[in-house]
Amino acid sequence: MNKKYLLLTILSITACCIQAQSLSSARALFNEGKYSEALPAFRKFVKQSPSNANYNYWYGACCVETGADSLAVPYLKKAAQRKVLEAYPYLIRCQANQYLFDEAIETYDNYISLLDSKKKPTDEAMSGQQKMQTASLMLKGTEDICVVDSFVISKDKLLEAYQIGPDAGTLETCANFFNDESQKGTIYQNELGQKLYLSLNDNGRLNICTSDKLLDKWSNPSPVAGLQEEGDNNYPFMMADGITLYYANNSSESLGGSGYDIYVTRLNTSTNRFLKPENMGMPYNSPANDYMMAIDEFNNLGWFASDRYQPEGKVCVYVFVPNESRQTFDYNDSTAINIRQIAMLHSIRKTWKDESIVQDAIARMQKIASQSRKQTPDHAFTFVIDDRNVYHKLEDFRSKEARNLFMQWVQKSNDLESLRTRIATLRRAYIAGDEGRKQNLAPELLDLEKREEQMCSELEKLELSVRASEKKQLH
């Protein structure tokens, strides 16, 4: 009998040691930021001990870091109720991402009280709570617009999606305009081609400047007055009236805390200074990055970009029908859920009230695109070999090896685009799904994201091989 008890004791101690080692490994992965690897272990621990506050925190945090916000909420709430300090920021992040700003404000109240009781600084938390209060007001003032289309593209091809008519001016990257890859801003040139609004480096930050055409050259850029003095001012677009300026700023005042929000301001022609900028609110802005607002008055179409719900390197461009004056919803308890969904832009169809408006807008888009294609040079592609050689067709390659490598690069690029489209589709399904659906989709999403990262690395190496092979032939 004693041997039996001794064996049970040894087995119990062994199991505890194994669990301790497993927990230690999971925590090490967590602390290293390897959340997807740590997640299965913490899922097991929280299932075994559902009342353990720390297990709930670690598992909830891993869910957030791997994109499963709604799955994380009940676990983070349990951890927060048991005063796990680190759980509060994650819970607030989930609530903000789901536009539950009033709940986030209440969570901040508890968080600030706990910080205060532990004699810890509360300034950052109080600042965050103010942002949630601002976001709550913005949600209640969401503009009623009709978003007719949206498409996901690579960030480096953002401006290619803006098919604005020639009467609305043109958009271009500073890197392309100045032939200098170190330039990070964008340029708007008015329809007459005699004035630029461009974002340039100004003492370590991007700021919007103007430049005028002087016969065969441009004047020295001059910073505009009246915009934010904190963060980057970027993505300018001036309306045809020469007074109304749209742009983006990423100061601490933005909804995301450090991401871009879209602003509008108007020029005081008496002082040549812009008036106090106004945040465009929702649905244009979100806790993510939102920028590059452009409005083509002549075709009654508007564009803006957002990386909400998008993987790294991707951005979604939304096309909408601008209102003549701002129209907002009647916000009350019965409309709150629907308005929240519209503000989040989960489904653009929820913004459609009149199908004829949508069809007319799509027809105008197609007309602009058709006109643009007629003006575009007949290039099959653009591939830069070096400063002196830019190829547009396969016949440009002198090296047979480089040509074959390039064709592999094209095929792999297409495969990557298909993969990213699949990931974007799954992300939308994940966001819209219930808890069971989310749990089923999560493993596939993680696998596809790992494959995306691997393919990006392969593409980069293949691109370098193409250039190296062609340069060898050229030299």
Residue 20: its pLDDT value, please? 45
Stated pTM of the model? 0.72
pLDDT band at residue 442 under the 50/70/90 scheme: confident
Six-digit token pair at 374?
A: 């007629």
Architecture of domain 2-139: Alpha Horseshoe (1.25)
Residue 34: its pLDDT value, please? 92
Residue 293: its pLDDT value, please? 98
Residue 255: its pLDDT value, please? 85
pLDDT band at residue 372 under the 50/70/90 scheme: low
Residues 282-306 pLDDT 10s: 999 999 999 999 999 999 999 999 9
Residue 214: its pLDDT value, please? 86
Residue 436: its pLDDT value, please? 79
pLDDT band at residue 14 under the 50/70/90 scheme: very low
Residue 10: its pLDDT value, please? 45
pLDDT at 17 > cutoff 60 = no
Higher pLDDT, 378 or 369: 369
Residue 5: its pLDDT value, please? 55
pLDDT at 311 > cutoff 60 = yes
Question: Per mean pLDDT, which range of 245-254, 281-290, 372-381 is the poorest?
Answer: 372-381
Residue 279: its pLDDT value, please? 95
Residues 49-66 pLDDT 10s: 999 999 999 999 999 998
Residue 380: its pLDDT value, please? 65
Residue 433: its pLDDT value, please? 73
